Structure 1
Amino acid sequence: MLFLQRKNIKWKCEDCNIRMCNSCKVTVHQGLQSVQEHNVVSIQDIRNSSQGSEEVTSAVISSVFNSYTTTVPAVHTLLCLDDDLVYFTYCRVPSEENQFVKGKLLKSSIKILQTRKTNIFDIAINKDGEILFIDHNTNKIQILSSADEVKTGLDLSPMRPLAIHVNKDNEVIVGLREQGPPHPAKDFSVRQVIIFGSDYQRKATLEFDKKGNKLFSYAGRIRTDSRNVVYVIDRFDSDMNGRIVAVDRNGRLKFTYDGQTDIVTFQPVGITITPSDNIVVSDRGNDALHVMNSKGDLLGLQFIFKDLGIYYPYSLCFDSEGYLLIGCGKGKNEDCGKMFVVKMVDSPI
């Protein structure tokens, strides 16, 4: 009988850390209101993932498809749309070079379509094709329409918005902090990630874990996967040393990733999610890319300067064909930052 019970075990709840047969999953576990958001996975998927992990190598990029010289010293944020349209920004505070640029990627160059002199911290795009952005000079989420008209979507005063992202459900997710010095975060500091609906009505606030500890120090960048798990680049200081914090929309901490033990500093500055829900992070301090799965397990680590001549990686995004775009800072004897188009090892092209 014990053998038969084990043979019928088909599911595991990763939050409860229990294994279940079909009957227990349906009649017992799913009947509890408190576990409706828990992550239940099939045992077969776990086995397949385990077998596949043995073949993981340190390679992240299989080839460099193209490279472009931009018009800014560094590509701090980057969005890629259909038809090879890109939006990118450079923002240093204070700086007269700060720009928000719209361009089109051609075979050998970027055609600049529009340039704005403005201090934009972060950018995102909603399902209507509107660009949402956070300006350093205001506490507002502003919207750039397809007709190039700017309007205010949400005034977050007195809080200061830091990062913005739009998920697959068109929800707007914003990282916030209180007024005053950004670092270090103190006991009285308010460091939040807030989920708004597309109508900008607040739906959830992420600030503390289940033990009452602060989840974030400074939410520098935000992304979500297909299950709307929230991944945050959490910065500790002005040098951008930090970690990755993964949390579900109910405030349950999934994992934190602090880099590797043989790396002295970990400076995560860019983040994107693959179609298979792997997390890709650019590490400026080591000129490296880190790739991990949704459990926080490292799948690949590549020092891209040493291997490919790509340095100062700041921003990441995927284009419509599955290529990874890397926005970078300028190197020695260069006037402007670059943008690289690369093919990932696991990229579904």
Structure 2
Amino acid sequence: MNWKSRIFSTEKKYLKDEVEKHTNKLLKELDQRKEILMQSVNNARNRSQKINKDLDLRRKNLNQALNSNIANQVFNIYSEEKISRQQRIVPANPKFKKLPKFVPGKNVVQDFYLGELKESDDDQKIFEFKVIKQYKTELMVVGNLVCCDDRSIFITGYPSLILHKLKLTNESLCDLHTFKTNIFNMALLPSGDLLLSTKESNLTILSCSTSKVNPTKFSVNPLITLGVHVTSDHKILVGVRENQPKPFPVNGPRQVIMMSMDGEKEKVYHTDNKGKLIFTFPYRITTDNDNNVYVIDILDEEWRGRIVALDKTNRVRWVYTGNPDINKKQTMKPQDLVATKSDNIIVTDYHHHMIHILNTTGQCIHYLNTKDQLGINPLSLDIDSTGTLYIGCNTYNSEPNEAKIYTVSGF
């Protein structure tokens, strides 16, 4: 073999190895994405099967009641059916992100153009945000927002340390009640009362019947409470940290605790699958229809943060730190999050005027520059019983203290 043949043979082998290496990398990535997609499909299938099983059981009970001559049995079945009908059944209606397509000639390997995986544009078309109405407050910031079933809302904001209960009309907000209290976060209880986190060792409850703030048995002593959330199966989730004036630096436990309605601690999310501490500052919490837990974890004083997804066995399922398309030069600074009826997680990043929409496997299936596309600066979130999204906003520097609340559809 002459010297030219040896050179070309060496180059041929090198190029073959490089192409094979890049091809294997793409195949591995595709396998991982397929596994995530199948997990989403299986989760949706399991939820559908659970709904069908529950409906079959209710149908059998009703048939038994119709054919029964025992009064107690009939009334018991009637009571159970009445409770079941009051509970909203959320259908399994997920939006799956498609597998990426192979596009030839995108990756350069020694003057050879290998293909790449490209995301489908279809995923960006499934969301068409539309502002239904906007309401003007007298606050600089709507920092907390909770929807009630009677079309009223609770909000808190800056600079006032006042909790407002407002009624939404077609044209404006009507102030029903005001409560002077320093609230860090809040969540609606099944009773209609409001559960309050005030960065103390005990959660408190604002009673809707008496309009008084009462103590509770939900204690995290000697720690203090942060984000709080009530799940659809009536569990209390609360973020906690050590009792010190400032959140940073970290000098003690940072956890998410699950409690029963009796105040008993049932679970503590503290370390991950490898024994590493999970949280730095568990700021906000939400759950999806299957009560999987999602937490905004703030990492430092600059408010850089991430979304941590937890499963029901105390494990970390995934961590989302931002979409590379929009976070190349700036780190995501999440402020609030909420789960939709279709099990998507909506996250606000008001520092960058962005809304991220994630699926339950941690993929960003849509994002929205709210300043450019809606003209708003999103901060707090909630979804009412009809599925309408409420967005509490921050004002821009030159604006008066008239932070707005928007109702939005199309997600």
Contact map agreement 1:206 1:249 (CA 8 A) in 2? no
Contact map agreement 2:148 2:192 (CA 8 A) in 1? no
Per the TM alignment, residue 218 of structure 1 is displaced from its structure 2 partner at its CA by 0.4
**Which residue does 1:69 correspond to in 2?**
136
Separation in 2, partners of 1:156, 1:229: 22
Contact map agreement 2:323 2:364 (CA 8 A) in 1? no
**Which residue does 1:321 correspond to in 2?**
386
Amino acid at match of 1:162: L
For residues 219-253 of structure 1, the C-alpha deviation after alignment (integer angstroms, 9 at most, x for no partner) is: 00000111111100000123321000001132111
Answer yes or no: is 1:146 the counterpart of 2:208: yes
Answer yes or no: is 1:169 the counterpart of 2:217: no
Separation in 2, partners of 1:304, 1:323: 17
Answer yes or no: is 1:50 the counterpart of 2:98: yes
Answer yes or no: is 1:90 the counterpart of 2:157: yes
Gaps of 5+ in 1: 1-11, 21-44
Per the TM alignment, residue 267 of structure 1 is displaced from its structure 2 partner at its CA by 0.9
Contact map agreement 1:60 1:301 (CA 8 A) in 2? no
Change (3 A) 1:224 1:46: closer
For residues 48-101 of structure 1, the C-alpha deviation after alignment (integer angstroms, 9 at most, x for no partner) is: 65369831117754211111111322111111112210001125xxx6x21211
Gaps of 5+ in 2: 1-33, 43-92, 101-118
Contact map agreement 1:90 1:98 (CA 8 A) in 2? yes
Separation in 2, partners of 1:155, 1:284: 32
Change (3 A) 1:273 1:198: same
**Which residue does 1:27 correspond to in 2?**
none
Change (3 A) 1:315 1:47: closer
Structure 1 or 2: larger helix share?
2
Per the TM alignment, residue 145 of structure 1 is displaced from its structure 2 partner at its CA by 1.5
Amino acid at match of 1:197: S
Q: What is the aligned-residue RMSD (CA, Å)?
A: 2.6
Instruction: Indicate the structure (1 or 2) with the bigger Cα radius of gyration.
Output: 2
For residues 131-175 of structure 1, the C-alpha deviation after alignment (integer angstroms, 9 at most, x for no partner) is: 100124x32200111211321112322201001000011100000
Answer yes or no: is 1:295 the counterpart of 2:351: no
TM superposition outliers: structure 1 runs of 4+ over 4 Å: 45-49, 58-61
Contact map agreement 1:99 1:119 (CA 8 A) in 2? yes
**Which residue does 1:40 correspond to in 2?**
none
**Which residue does 2:395 correspond to in 1?**
330
Per the TM alignment, residue 179 of structure 1 is displaced from its structure 2 partner at its CA by 1.7
**Structure with the larger RCO, 1 or 2 (CA within 8 Å, 6+ apart):** 1
Report SS of the residue matched to 2:138.
coil
1:80 to 129, 142, 147: 147
* TM-score normalised per structure 1: 0.80
* Identity rate, percent: 32
Change (3 A) 1:150 1:117: closer
Amino acid at match of 1:206: Y
Amino acid at match of 1:243: R
Separation in 2, partners of 1:85, 1:46: 29
Per the TM alignment, residue 260 of structure 1 is displaced from its structure 2 partner at its CA by 2.1
Amino acid at match of 2:308: V
1:270 to 328, 336, 342: 336
Contact map agreement 2:94 2:342 (CA 8 A) in 1? no
Contact map agreement 1:58 1:299 (CA 8 A) in 2? no
Contact map agreement 2:350 2:394 (CA 8 A) in 1? no
Separation in 2, partners of 1:62, 1:272: 16
Change (3 A) 1:336 1:316: same
Contact map agreement 1:132 1:141 (CA 8 A) in 2? yes
Change (3 A) 1:248 1:78: same
Separation in 2, partners of 1:90, 1:46: 33
**Which residue does 1:219 correspond to in 2?**
282
